Amino acid sequence: MSVDQKERAVAAIVGCVVSDAAAQPLHWIYNLGKLDGIVGSRRDSVEFWEPSHNPFYCIETGRGTSYADQTQTLLESLVACEGFNKADFAQRLKATFGPGSRYDNKLNSKYVMKSGKQKGYPIDGPWNPKVIKDFLAKYAQGMQFTGSRDVADMGAVVPVVAMVAMYAGRAEMLEKVEEALTVLYELEEAVAVGMAAARILEQFVLHPGMDGVAAIEAVMQQLSDPKRANPNDLDRAVIGQLKNVLEKKTSEHRYAAKKFFLNS
């Protein structure tokens, strides 16, 4: 990569972890009425909110969520191994999130997803999401495939940022991204979304002045290519979703999310 491309790669990582920490105190508030009651008219200045209103866990403002810790763990592995090493990344994930770590919390481990406030919540400490719990269980059993078969959420874009920052513009980038994704995710939907996110981020890293519409259009073209690298059976569905995003991009965010994307 050129010097300016490396700078954009670093900016992607910084943006990833800073925005994660900025959102953490209001993380996972699913009741929009409750969220509006907290922030009032300050919808454009809610970063690093104090005090925390997170209903599931409470950590100090300025510290990142488990997603930021996944990013840092992957970065440390990439530096130590001078590239992606699946075994090293998995071992570091266990050290970061497993038994004896600051994520080791009995209330968290017994959590069952259901509506309403849970006894003892928010927990005092960071939160281990289900994808990490599934990984830890499989890793402890020595299973070859450690990815979750149950989770396909936006956490699937977490390993993407560090991997694209290192491999953008290189022929093996998508192969490496997919390898990193499958450490935590087995569902094809999660992998397809993560791979699309990697393709989009690469556009921003490689091309100065790239805007969002142009990046998405470029990725839609890539995914339509029958000779594309690392094809996925869900690529056509991803194209459809990206096209829908572009068509609805002028809609108010909350309206669009509920009207067009809630069950998609």
Tens-digit pLDDT profile for residues 166-218:
999 999 999 999 999 999 999 999 999 999 999 999 999 999 999 999 999 99
Domain residues of the chain, as ranges? 3-260
CATH domain 3-260 topology: ADP-ribosylglycohydrolase fold (1.10.4080)
d(CA 91, CA 69): 14
Q: Which of 137, 162, 161, 159 is nearest to 149 (CA)?
A: 137
Comparing 41 with 157, which gets the higher pLDDT? 157
Helix (H) or strand (E) holding 189: helix 188-206
Tokens matching residue 47: 């970063």
The answer to whether 131 and 148 are in contact (CB under 8 A) is yes
pLDDT computed for residue 116 by the predictor: 54
Kindly tell me if the per-residue pLDDT of 263 is higher than 60: yes
Kindly tell me if the per-residue pLDDT of 253 is higher than 90: no
Kindly tell me if the per-residue pLDDT of 25 is higher than 90: yes
Which residue type is seen at 261? F
Comparing 240 with 260, which gets the higher pLDDT? 240
pLDDT computed for residue 89 by the predictor: 98
Rounded to the nearest integer, the mean pLDDT of the chain is: 92
Kindly tell me if the per-residue pLDDT of 43 is higher than 80: no
Share of the chain above pLDDT 90, in %: 81
Tens-digit pLDDT profile for residues 77-120:
999 999 999 999 999 999 999 999 999 988 887 666 554 556 78
Furthest C-alpha separation in the chain:
53
Tens-digit pLDDT profile for residues 232-246:
999 999 999 999 999
Kindly tell me if the per-residue pLDDT of 73 is higher than 90: yes
Mean pLDDT within 145-174:
93
What value does the CA radius of gyration of the chain take, rounded to a whole number of Å? 19
